Amino acid sequence: MKKLSEKELSTLKEYQEQNAKIAADLGNIEINFSLLKKQKEIVLKEFDTLQESQNSTGKELQEKYGAGNIDLEKGEFTPVE
């Protein structure tokens, strides 16, 4: 049986530590990725709800005022002729 030199042993231990760190980093990335996917789903649902509300309000305003443009700054409706 031959014994490894301190330098060889140190190098191999360093590789092992680096592998463990990389594996831990990849695990953290996967966890963060999963959390971001869930957050994305929530935000997309909020966006869908917002679009539905906007469409509904747009239809209500069109029924009330007819076709036209709204100036949000002035709060004025200008009919399209």
- 3-41: pLDDT as tens digits: 999 999 999 999 999 999 999 999 999 999 999 999 999
Quote the pTM value: 0.66
What pLDDT score was predicted for residue 26?
98
Structural domains in the chain (count): 1
| Cα 32 to chain centroid, rounded | 11
Residue 1 falls inside a structural domain: no
Residue 2 falls inside a structural domain: no
Residue pointed to by tokens 């036209």: 68
Boundaries of domain holding 20:
7-79
What pLDDT score was predicted for residue 81?
76
Nearest CA-CA partner of 38 in 26, 53, 46: 46
Residue 55 near residue 62 (C-beta atoms within 8 A): no
What pLDDT score was predicted for residue 32?
98
| Cα 55 to chain centroid, rounded | 24
Q: CA neighbours within 13 Å on the CB side: how many for 32?
A: 6
